[in-house]
Amino acid sequence: MLDIKNLSASVGGAEILHDLSLSVGTGEVHAIMGPNGSGKSTLAQVIAGRDDYDVTAGSVTLDGEDLLELDPEERAREGVFLGFQYPVEIPGVNNAYLLKAAVNAQRAHRGLDEIDVFEFLKLAKEKMALLGMDQKFLNRGVNEGFSGGEKKRNEILQMAMLEPRLAILDETDSGLDIDALKAVAHGVNALRSPERSIVLVTHYQRLLDYIQPDHVHVLSGGKIVRSGDKTLATELEERGYDWLKEAANG
């Protein structure tokens, strides 16, 4: 599904990602962990197409298609979804309006007609129920005045509506209470399928109790320094990252 080869990326002249390679197979769930500032969000944003970052070397492909050639919206329509670590508040832009516009832009890309209004509402309400979200959020501004946890649920709602091929969730579990964590995990698990791949960026083993990953990677200093199965997450929880940083440097 996703193939990242020898990727280097910098921002404002500083290289953040160094020669990073990562492969995510179709139907797999990968977790990326790593210390603060190691480049996890940078990687996620580069995949989604943020142009503040300069890709200086390497390639990123989705099912063989060069993602780096595409605009962010083209990537999104092709099925790449980024759940933001810090979802952006967009005052005055109606949440339901955005959801519908997003769904329709994606449908247009696939050569489908616009979604029927009633069908859209029915679908949105279904997904919201699944996430334990009150319907009143449909009529609010996008993330406007949402609590931290509400923003994260809203990201998952968008993901659920767009049904991406590849979902990258950047710390979607941070700042969630136990119920919200379960709801989010439920939303992610509902999306899990042999056709989709999911990348979870997280600091906590806890999320991985609910969403069992096939692979766990450690990103440190802009590189993947260790990959393993889900037991690696448990090990990290116990030992921290220092031993890996040393191993990587030495």
Partner 1 sequence: MSKPDKLQSAAEQLGPDGLSDLRSRAAKKFGATGFPTTRMEDWKYTDLSIASDISVAALQDFRTDLPPSYEIPDIDAHWLVISNGSPQVGSFSAIDGVEVSLLSEADVDLQFNLPLSDLNLALLSDGLRLTVDSGVNIDKPIGILFFDDADTESLVSQGRVIIDVSKSASVQVIEFHATRGDARKYANVFVDLNIGDNARVDYARLQARDPSAVQTARLSVAAGRDATLRHFALDTGGKLVRNDLAIDIAQTGANVDFNGLYLADAMQHVDNHTRVDHRVGPAHSNQEYRGIVKGRAVWNGKAVVHEGADGTDAQQANHNLLVAERAEINAKPELEIYAEDVKCSHGTTVGQLDENAVFYLRTRCLDEEQARRLMTHAFAMGVAHRCPIDACTAWVDAHVDAALNALITEDAE
Positions touching ligand ATP (CB under 6 A) are 11-12, 14, 16, 34, 36-42, 52, 85
- If the CB atoms of residues 159 and 168 are measured against ligand ATP, the closer one turns out to be 168
- With CB under 5 A as the contact rule, the residue among 38, 41, 106, 143 that binds Mg ion is 41
- 28: closest CA among 167, 205, 186? 167
Window of 41-49, 56-64, 109-117, 159-167 that interacts with Mg ion by CB under 5 A: 41-49
Sole residue written with tokens 């279904």: 126
- On the CB side of 249, how many CA atoms lie within 13 Å of its CA? 8
Question: 66 with 4: CB under 8 angstroms?
Answer: no
Q: How far is the CB of 116 from ligand ATP (least distance, A)?
A: 39
**15: number of Cβ within 10 Å:** 15
Binding-site partner at residue 137 among ligand ATP, Mg ion, partner 1, none, CB < 5 to 8 Å by type: none
Binding-site partner at residue 39 among ligand ATP, Mg ion, partner 1, none, CB < 5 to 8 Å by type: ligand ATP
Q: How far is the CB of 205 from ligand ATP (least distance, A)?
A: 15
Sign of the alpha-carbon dihedral angle for 83, 204, 228, 16: positive
Question: 143 with 87: CB under 8 angstroms?
Answer: yes
Residue 93 backbone phi and psi in degrees, to 5? -90, 115
- If the CB atoms of residues 81 and 241 are measured against partner 1, the closer one turns out to be 81
- With CB under 8 A as the contact rule, the residue among 109, 203, 206, 230 that binds partner 1 is 109
Taking CB atoms, the residue at the shortest distance from Mg ion is 41
Residue 92 backbone phi and psi in degrees, to 5? 85, -15
- With CB under 8 A as the contact rule, the residue among 24, 43, 162, 176 that binds partner 1 is 162
Sole residue written with tokens 């996008």: 142
Q: Which residues bind Mg ion (CB under 5 A)?
A: 40-41, 85
